[in-house]
């Protein structure tokens, strides 16, 4: 970075240059990225093997309790695969160049509702948007990922047979003050 220097009467007298060596930081970031990909790849492969054997056991075992245990192993494996996919999606979004753009909240929440309705047909997703014009400036991919994960989590972790999730948004100013 460069900073001009001047005397008390504001006449230029020189400048100061500061150099930063980013090689180690970039190398560490690349290493973490490779490690992340390898870990996700290996996790996916190993869980696929575990799920395959669990499903085979579930089909072939005669003891109902053992079949149930095999099904539990398979479900746990599927949850791990889902987590791996979410990490991959998060990683992809992190690498994107982010430019805030106008996002219509009603449209975004409707898309999330549609996406989750297929997996949770008994669920109700209510919305209350108190944002002037119903629009915010943000990165749409990040907002959608956050909304899907929040609503999906609420629907997954309830014991209600017909759950209701309420998505509420309000305009806020600096430090959470209402705008």
Q: What would the mean pLDDT of 162-177 be, rounded to a whole number?
A: 74
Residues 6+ apart with CB under 8 A from 143: 103, 108
Of 76, 81, 134, 85, the C-alpha closest to 108 is 134
- Torsion sign across C-alpha atoms 135, 140, 142, 144: positive
Instruction: For 4-15, write each residue's pLDDT tens digit.
Output: 899 999 999 988
Instruction: For 11-49, write each residue's pLDDT tens digit.
Output: 999 888 888 888 888 888 888 888 888 888 888 899 999
């Amino acid at each position: 970075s460069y900073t001009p220097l001047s005397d008390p009467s504001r006449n230029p007298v020189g400048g100061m240059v500061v150099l930063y060596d980013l090689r180690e930081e970039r190398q560490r970031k690349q290493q973490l990225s490779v490690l992340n990909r390898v870990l996700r790849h290996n996790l996916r492969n190993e869980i696929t093997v575990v799920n395959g054997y669990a499903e085979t056991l579930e089909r072939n075992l005669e003891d109902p309790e053992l079949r149930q245990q095999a099904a539990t192993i398979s479900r746990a494996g599927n949850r791990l695969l889902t987590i791996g996919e979410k990490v991959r999606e998060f990683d992809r979004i992190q690498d994107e160049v982010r430019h805030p753009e106008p996002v219509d909240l009603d449209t975004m929440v409707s898309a999330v509702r549609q996406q989750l309705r297929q997996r949770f047909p008994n669920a109700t997703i209510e919305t209350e948007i108190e944002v002037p014009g119903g629009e915010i400036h943000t990165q749409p991919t990040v907002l959608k990922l956050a909304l899907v994960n929040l609503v999906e989590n609420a629907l997954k972790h309830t014991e209600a047979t017909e759950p209701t999730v309420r998505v509420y948004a309000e305009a806020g100013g600096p430090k959470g003050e209402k705008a």
